[in-house]
Amino acid sequence: MKTIDELLTEGVAGKRVFVRADLNVPLDGGTITDDGRIRAVLPTVKALADAGAKVVVASHLGRPKGAPDPAFSLAPAAARMGELLGTDVAFATDTVGDSARSTVAGLADGQVAVIENLRFNAGETAKDDAERGAFADRLAELADVYVGDGFGAVHRKHASVFDLPARLPHAAGHLIATEVGVLKKLTEDVKRPYVVALGGSKVSDKLAVIDQLLGKADRLLIGGGMVFTFLKAKGYEVGASLLQDDQIPVVQEYIARAEKNGVELVLPVDVLTSTGFPDLKTKAPGNPNTVAADAIPADQLGLDIGPETRKLYASKLADAATVFWNGPMGVFEHPDYAEGTRAVAQALLDSPAFTVVGGGDSAAAVRLLGFDENAFGHISTGGGASLEYLEGKTLPGLAALED
């Protein structure tokens, strides 16, 4: 895989360089609530601009239906990128139309532009190869060189991720090179003990990665909404907690396989419960109760791991040499149910291990709870992409960057 360092050595001055970034940031109206993904691509954008390239940044945001939708405009992301770079960033109000063509044509060497949300064009996400390819052809007209740096999208077979690199000289940006290097540390010659903490809402989202980790990890810590399917699989009553009944047989098989393989599978010993889901807008008191993990009342639902489990999980992380964490331990957006996630994050900071936070809600929790991002070994920008890599899948966006 050619890297941006090699590209810069060859020279990019005067060339139009298309950077496929991941600017899929959370918005509250037109306000960005977490600019982490914009910051992550800045080293690549700045390096290209400083080398005299005409930088064309493209991304998706949200899930528009293949047509323009103001609620998913990249205009706020373009404005924020300009603030972070300390320079004007031009913005095209379409993807491959008159605005995009004129905006790119107007760039001087070293200037940066952002084009509108790629998913405003149905060709970006089309299942049909010809439709997707036709959109990639039009994007290719905007550039001389392609740089892939949107790690959060590399598991998608989309036009700007998979088809466009085949049409232009291409290289991996700084972010993708870093992400791949980190993931190799989790899959090749891993330093042990290797501990994985998995959370999030649905166990079905994590089954494939658990299947792989049962042959690679030394210890698995389970939390979040997904844990109640594990507790139910052990015969415990989980009350009104989130539960995927159809996954219980699979989870039972995984519990048995973990024991057979000598993988320590650690489940909560206590949980925080309530009679209803907390109000995440007003942050009104959630009235949490602490109960044993095998004694959740029928009218209550689990919303976080309990205080004894926090201590237990911290102890299970203390001796690790490598840690991968993906998924919060509870409803971290509400202060009454954030302490389990906070405890895991703090345990990672206290551990001498190489620590990787697997993007998505885990990365958002780190920022929301006020932790220093630089204190972790690595915070990924792609939760889904990280998981699929660990599952052993071929990621289309990485395959497309291979020479």
Residue 117 has what pLDDT?
Answer: 98
Q: Please tell me the pTM assigned to this model.
A: 0.88
Amino acid at 168: L
pLDDT, tens digit, for every residue of 123-180?
999 999 999 999 999 999 999 999 999 999 999 999 999 999 999 999 999 999 999 9
Residue 277 has what pLDDT?
Answer: 93
Phi then psi dihedrals of residue 277, to 5 deg: -75, 140
Show the 3-state SS of 190-254: CCCCEEEEECCCCHHHCHHHHHHHCCCCCEEEECCCCHHHHHHHCCCCCCCCCCCHHHHHHHHHH
Q: CB–CB of 328/361 below 8 Å?
A: yes
List CB contacts of 113: < 8 A, sequence separation 6 or more: 54, 55, 56, 57, 89, 90, 91, 92, 103, 104, 107
Q: From first to last of its 403 residues, what are the pLDDT tens digits of the chain?
A: 999 999 999 999 999 999 999 999 999 889 998 898 999 999 999 999 999 999 999 999 999 999 999 999 999 999 999 999 999 999 999 999 999 999 999 999 999 999 999 999 999 999 999 999 999 999 999 999 999 999 999 999 999 999 999 999 999 999 999 999 999 999 998 999 999 999 988 888 899 999 999 989 999 999 999 999 999 999 999 999 999 999 999 999 999 999 999 999 999 999 999 999 999 889 998 889 999 999 999 999 999 999 999 999 999 999 999 999 999 999 999 999 999 999 999 999 999 999 999 877 888 899 889 999 889 999 988 888 998 998 889 999 999 999 7
The residues annotated as belonging to the active site are 37, 202, 360, 384
Residue 109 has what pLDDT?
Answer: 98
Structure-token pair, residue 101? 């063509």
Report the alpha-carbon distance of residue 20 to residue 255 in Å, rounded: 40
Alpha helix (H) ranges present in 70-225?
Answer: 75-85, 98-105, 129-140, 174-187, 207-213
**CA 122 centroid distance within chain:** 23
Residue 80 has what pLDDT?
Answer: 98
Report the alpha-carbon distance of residue 304 to residue 281 in Å, rounded: 18
Structure-token pair, residue 147? 């740089």
Q: Using only the alpha carbons of the chain, give its radius of gyration.
A: 22
